[in-house]
Amino acid sequence: IQRETESCNYYITKLDSPAKSEYHKAEYRVIRLRNSLTILLISDLEEANNDNMKYKDYEENCSSANRVKKDVWILCVRVGSFNDPPEVSGLAHFLQFWIKKDVITREREIIQRVKNTKERLLSFIAQTDHLPSKFLRGNSTALKNNLKKMYIIKCMISSKYKNIYFEYNPEAIVGASLCFGNYFLELNTYGEASEDHLWIGLVLIVLIMITGVFSYYQDTKSSRIMESFQQMIPQCAKVLRDSERKELLATELVVGDIVLLETGDQVPADIRILECQGLKVDNASITGESIPLIRMANIPQTGSVIQAKNMVFFSTNVVEGSGKGVVVACGDHTVMGRVVKLTSRLPTRPTPLSREIHRFIKLVSCWAIFLGVSFFTMSIAMGHDWIDSVLFLIGIIVANVPEGIVATMTVSLTLTAKRMASKNCLVKNLEAVETLGCTAVICSDKTGTLTQNKMTVRHVWYNGQLCEVMSSDTWRKYINDPGFKNLARVASLCNRAEWAPILKDEPLPPLNKRKILGDASDAALLRCMEILVKGGTDSFRKNYVKILEIPFNSTDKFQANIHLFRSKYLISFKGAPERVLERCSTVAFGNETKDLNEEIRSAYTESCYILANNGERVLGFADLELSTKAFPVGYHFEADPPNFPLENLRLIGLIAMMDPPRPAVPDAVYKCRCAGIKVIMVTGDHPDTAKAIAKYVGIITDHDDYANSNRKQDIVVTGTQLRDLLPEQLDQLIRQHQEIVFARTSPVQKLQIVESCQRLHLITAVTGDGVNDSPALKKADIGIAMGITGSDVSKQVADLILLDDNFASIVTGIEEGRRIFDNLKSSIAYTLASNVPEITPFLAFIVLGIPLPVGVICILCIDLGTDMWPAIALAYEKSESDIMLRYNLLSFLFFLLRKPRIPQSDHLVSRKLIFMAYGQIGVIEACAGFFTYFVVMAEHGFLPKRLLGLRSMWDSSVVNDLEDSFGQEWTYQQRKVLEYTCHTAFFVSIVIAQVADAMVCKTRRNSLLRQGMGNWVLNLGLLLEIVLACVVCYAPYMDRILKTYSLKPEWWLLGVPYAIIILIYEELRKWWIRRHPGGWWDKETSY
């Protein structure tokens, strides 16, 4: 609160320093109300009565303009008093006397009303034309200053305070509480207590804190969305205020400001155009259109606001021309602001992996609680002390819950994310790694994702022939071609694009990295001529003096330039192909000029049709040399109306360009189709352009399917058609068609497409680079943003960022996602197998009445110690298909040919996995543990028969003469040493069996002999597992820390036969599955 107070005083000082002496009596204070709403109040008791009168008058005048109840008007507190000079004179006057009397008593009610009406109130204030004229004193600058103060207060009110919290593990909390409670209860009851309970509680508390840190880190990542939106705000804007041209910060703009726009400016707000000259804007960040759009004034709006030709929008760029317009929306109220607000309000959808983990934890928790409560009740019924029964309860819960599984998954996903980062896939949300592997639909943006977002010349037509421009072409190919020279001259002269200036000390960057000032079409021509003409466009421009230009407009659809060269004037003409053709009467063939006949017209028209169907933008070019008699040197040319001929021109040719697809995209789309993934294009571009690109990259294929000739495979849906579809109809459309292109879509419609896919239970990935893609990116199961061309908002929302902007990198993510899911299954199967030998000792302890075979401390040593590294190392295991096929390419395709998993049926922890872990491998490990336990007991004189029912006497501290099977007497202390030795031996036998289990979990179908032991991370993990077991057994002071004791070397060998049994059994099972695919063993044990 102190920091906020200082900040408020700082703003007040900066804003009102010229008038500070006029209201020196005003007292400023900040009152922090609940819900972190900060309200700035001003006390001026001397003018309370006057304020009261003015407030009532003001309230009456506002009655017809959506008046808000006076309780809520405290949000509009005015900085200053009513006696301020004109420079800071005001609006939104307040009755301070009423505020002082009434606010504190009805604070809760006011807060609730603030929540309900804050946005409506602030919007009302922004509509300055609704305010009573009597309160708009002074000039427009005064009004703007007051609105600027309202903006600062709004920012303060909108600020939210997030508290750090931890997402606790409820099972761990209950376990820790029981441990501490049992420890202190036993201490108060008997005067002494086992420290086991205390240590277990501390370990669980540490586990809770670690889990909480991970949860907090995941939850705070989305808080930067609005911050990145603020970074998009242009720094300055040129405005007209008080008949003067001023340069202001974009944050100071308000509705009604007149803004001047020039080439290269970023639009600072939503602006309606009043005047313009050749104004073109790049709307790619909003609509996804790669071609700059012409803006005009005085054009009635038809359709949606986004399609209006007299509007420019916040964050778009002016690429050509100039204009003047009035601000109609600022900040959150702009089209882009509404998109960002929509994005921030969307709830985060849980990933399939998180749902699987929650399902797994729920199953394990219910099972653990059921067993714990059951055996607690059984223990009480059998006459055991209730404190000991609580110990059983805790032991059963700890043994059932794999405490290290969350950490194992997190580390495994982190290692996979690190491996993907080396392949240009930056993972923000770790769980998204697996989500990509089970993706069934990819909704991809076109501009900048499938394409390069850079217009490029693809074809030229001259001398009556259509030629393709290859990327390997240079000026040497065309140096002796007079027909191309004529075309290059017109394309260079009738072109407004220029190279951006470079600093003197800065080296010349490569051609594809150099910046160009101008629209995309002119930039493509400039870049092409730089390569195909010796000396580039300067070879023409330095010799031809520009005299006049008629800029391109949407009505005439042409641009004309006049240049002077060697005392002759040359008209260069460029425009839509049909407009150029109708103005020509001759055609250039090399150095000759011929009459334009029907054959040439047909060839010209046919070439235009072919190129347009390819999704290319076609421009026609013509020229005309003016006679020196009619147009001598010094002739005064005029553009409106033209006083020179624009008819009977000489046709030069055509140039076609397009935003080319990325080279690796067609292959990536093909691999996605092979993997059973449907790729849908969702773009704001023109339907014809979108369909052409979709055909080029393979999203739409040409079908000759005679069997299903009545069923159309592909479909192109426009935003207008999509607006008329009901949700059920959209679902049916996506279900029926395999190849879909959505064109002319808005951000909200992209969101509707994603929601439709999710209603069909399809795991949906969305790729995009613009702010217009951000709502769909956040709503999707996995959002994929572009790292180079992507906006900051899209990167903050996305779960995965492609650092090279290459759609093909998604295929790498699919491979890694499927591999990590398989490996996580192996890790869980390995981890769960040790649960059975951890649970059964407690069951035998209660049912058979034998001394406890293994303690809770040893169980934690397994779950959080020896099992951790091997479980994590399984994430490094290569896929089984790499061995099944010889060549890497074939194996990669085989791996992808698998259909994506269905999360509703193919679970991370399935019935078959539980059956294998609990019902087979776990039973063998339990047998190993009990065999070792009985052998150690027998060597010390306690045969298995003697142990039955011995628990009550064994645990009694008053019995110091307990006889074994051979008549030897054992004191209580000696028995406990033997018991802890058995715990250690049981622990070691589990470790030995788990080594074999880790080896067999490497594969689910292949033989271990074929898979090999090439995973050296796992090899080191198995070695570390043995080393940790040795440390637990032989390290000094372990008898006090963990209650473990040294073992004889031969006791280590007791678990080896059971490890061999696991290896042999698994090899035989997998061999049978390979020989009999689809049989009972395959259906019931192949997880």
Looking at the annotation, which residues are catalytic?
Answer: 445
- Are 563 and 572 within 8 A, CB to CB? yes
Phi, psi torsion values for 886, nearest 5 degrees: -80, -45
**Residue 61 neighbours by CB distance under 10 Å:** 15
Between CA 863 and CA 831 the distance in angstroms is: 8
Instruction: List the beta strands (DSSP E) in 688-768.
Output: 714-718, 739-743, 764-768
Pairing, β 800-802 against β 782-786: parallel
Between CA 925 and CA 1055 the distance in angstroms is: 8
Length of the chain: 1087
Between CA 278 and CA 152 the distance in angstroms is: 37
Q: In terms of Cα–Cα distance, which of 935, 951, 933 is closest to 845?
A: 951
Amino acid at 900: P
Between CA 805 and CA 541 the distance in angstroms is: 36
How far lies 104's CA from each of 81, 98, 112, 156, 466, in Å?
Answer: 22, 11, 14, 20, 81
Q: Classify 1072 as helix, strand or coil.
A: helix
Amino acid at 9: N
Three-state DSSP string of 467-497: EECCCCCCHHHCCCCHHHHHHHHHHHHCCCC
DSSP letter (8 states) at residue 451: B
Amino acid at 319: V
- Are 433 and 415 within 8 A, CB to CB? no
Tokens representing residue 923 in the block = 């039973």
- Are 649 and 573 within 8 A, CB to CB? yes
Between CA 280 and CA 259 the distance in angstroms is: 16
**Residue 164 neighbours by CB distance under 10 Å:** 9
* Residues in a beta bridge with 1072: none
The string of DSSP codes covering 574-636 is EE-HHHHHHTEEEEEETTEEEE--HHHHHHHHHHHHHHHHTT-EEEEEEEEEPPTTTS-TT--
Measured on CA atoms in the order 769, 775, 776, 779, is the torsion positive or negative? positive
Question: Residue 407 contacts by C-beta under 8 Å, 6 or more apart in sequence?
Answer: 210, 868
Three-state DSSP string of 217-245: HHHCHHHHHHHHHHHCCCCEEEEEECCEE
- Are 993 and 924 within 8 A, CB to CB? yes
Tokens representing residue 430 in the block = 């770790």
Phi, psi torsion values for 481, nearest 5 degrees: -110, 100
